[in-house]
Amino acid sequence: MKIAQIAPLYEAVPPRQYGGTERIVSYLTDGLVSLGHDVTLFASADSRTSAKLIPVRGKALRLDPQPLKSEYAAHLSMLHEVRRQAGRFDILHFHVDLIHFPFFERIASRTVTTLHGRLDLCDLAEVYRRWAAYPLVAISDSQRSYLPHANWIDTIPHGVPEAFALPSRHHDGYLAFLGRIAPEKGPDRAISIAKKVGRKLKIAAKVDPADRAYFREIIEPMIKDPLIEFVGEIGENEKSDFLGGASALLFPIDWPEPFGLVMIEAMACGTPVIAWANGSVPEVLEHGVTGFIVQSEAEAEAAISRLDRLDRNLIRREFKRRFSIGAMAQNYARLYETLLDPTEDILQLPDVESLPDGVKPPLRDRVGLPHHRANGTRAVVVAGE
């Protein structure tokens, strides 16, 4: 298949430092290339990929030293170029939220849109009713639950490279917090927990301009403690050592997390995760196996005392089974084929048991998914059929 991947322009693909969506686009693009597909990536010129790169901006927006820039102008220019070249591709796969909706309506059936952000926002329901022709992919069932009537065609979890890390034989006993300093991410909870149990906490996180006041007023006073080490923002090459050396990753979120990439990055290192039961967490973690799911600081503190009961090699195996790049890429490739094949007989789809771990069959019963019968007539499978 000829597939276009359309990435956000906030970060390079992959990002130099923090950047979840662009990192997943990088992994998926390279995974599809490894499956033999002809893949083109629309992204900033400072991106690195095994696919064909069409640079649509000189530098990613966040690290561009230019003081004044327009993210809307940059993305609209990219969409103009995608539209100009759209006839070259079988599938256009968008990762840019919903900004492309007004421009590709005539070929919406040849598109896939993966939504990477939160969907519990007040204005979204009407937008997804207005542009209902676009096939949508969620990254967790929790994420899609906020828009139950949207045109969901699948839920495909993220994957990261199996070579991302190997379980560390010796960890250094510290707790880790990785990601972004923001109230909804709960760094204040992580600091409070570490202090109460008397364990060192290392915080590797970026501070966005919107969160600088929160960092300055709330977090900075809390990290003036010998138990707390603020590492700052780290890049991909540093994550393995950072996570692999930790006794556990603290994920004390206070919002409906759509996925939580850092959880599977920790699992890739064999590192257990202690996370609040919000958003996607119960879908990603298995309580008592890959970590502990908690609902309070007291429960998190108790979980720390039980970390030695978890098998780090088993955590790594669970990661490989469920969250590898190979599984993610194969799931998307099968989804593309389902959308494109005009002769698919839905009665002759492979059984789940015959597929590799983590790889799902083509969709049979997702609400609103168009299938084609063997006689050429279209059928839309609805719930309960």
pLDDT of residue 153: 97
**Of 321, 87, 19, 292, nearest to 175 (Cα)?**
292
Share of the chain above pLDDT 90, in %: 79
The residue assigned the tokens 């070259």 is 88
pLDDT of residue 347: 32
Residues 154 and 6 in one domain: yes
DSSP string, 290-323: TEEEESSHHHHHHHHTTGGGS-HHHHHHHHHHHS
pLDDT of residue 63: 84
Residues 228 and 290 in one domain: yes
* Crossing angle (nearest 10°) for helices 261-268 and 20-34: 60
- pLDDT category at 20 given cuts 50, 70, 90 is confident
- pLDDT category at 16 given cuts 50, 70, 90 is confident
What CATH number has the domain bearing residue 305?
A: 3.40.50.2000
Here the tokens at position 272 are 């257990």
Residue that is last in its domain, among 297, 321, 345: 321
Residues 302 and 341 in one domain: no
**Of 339, 185, 319, 309, nearest to 254 (Cα)?**
185
Residues 200 and 333 in one domain: no
Here the tokens at position 62 are 């966040």
- pLDDT category at 362 given cuts 50, 70, 90 is very low
Residues 313 and 336 in one domain: no
Q: How far is CA 238 from CA 110, 234, 305, 355, in A?
A: 38, 6, 27, 34
Domain that holds residue 178: 163-321
Residue 187 has pLDDT above 50, yes or no: yes
Residue that is last in its domain, among 321, 341, 376: 321
Residue that is last in its domain, among 292, 321, 350: 321
Region 293-307 average pLDDT: 97
Residue 366 has pLDDT above 60, yes or no: no
* 203: β partners: 177, 230
> Residue 9: left if φ>0, alpha if ψ -120 to 50, beta else—which one?
alpha
Residue 27 has pLDDT above 90, yes or no: yes
pLDDT of residue 166: 63
Residues 171 and 138 in one domain: no
pLDDT tens track for 257-278? 999 999 999 999 999 999 999 9
Q: How far is CA 357 from CA 57, 268, 317, 336, in A?
A: 38, 16, 11, 19
Beta strand 369-372 pairing with 378-381:
antiparallel
Residues 153 and 197 in one domain: no
Residue 307 has pLDDT above 60, yes or no: yes
Residues 6 or more apart from 43 whose CB is under 8 A from it? Answer: 7, 9, 12, 13, 22, 25, 49, 53, 54, 55, 56
pLDDT of residue 31: 96
pLDDT tens track for 65-79? 888 899 999 999 999
Here the tokens at position 18 are 């923090």
Task: Check residues 366 and 312 and name the one with the higher pLDDT.
Answer: 312
Q: How far apart are CA 48 and CA 213, in angstroms?
A: 34
Region 221-233 average pLDDT: 95
Q: Kind and range of the H or E element at 197?
A: helix 187-197
pLDDT of residue 360: 56
pLDDT tens track for 313-355? 999 999 999 999 999 999 999 999 999 865 443 333 334 344 4
Q: Based on the structure, what is the number of domains in the chain?
A: 2
Residues 191 and 269 in one domain: yes
Residues 173 and 184 in one domain: yes
Residue 376 has pLDDT above 50, yes or no: no
Residues 199 and 85 in one domain: no
Residues 186 and 132 in one domain: no
Residue 251 has pLDDT above 80, yes or no: yes
DSSP string, 235-257: -HHHHHHHHHTEEEEEE---S--
Q: How far apart are CA 90 and CA 66, in angstroms?
A: 36
**Of 249, 248, 201, 251, nearest to 229 (Cα)?**
201
Say which amino acid occupies 115: L
Say which amino acid occupies 272: P
Residues 70 and 204 in one domain: no
pLDDT tens track for 92-127? 999 999 999 999 999 999 999 999 999 999 999 999
pLDDT of residue 359: 56
Mean pLDDT of the chain: 88
Q: How far apart are CA 93 and CA 72, in angstroms?
A: 19
**b or e along 181-194 (b: 16 or more beta carbons within 10 Å of the residue's beta carbon)?**
bbeebbbbbbbbbb
- pLDDT category at 371 given cuts 50, 70, 90 is very low
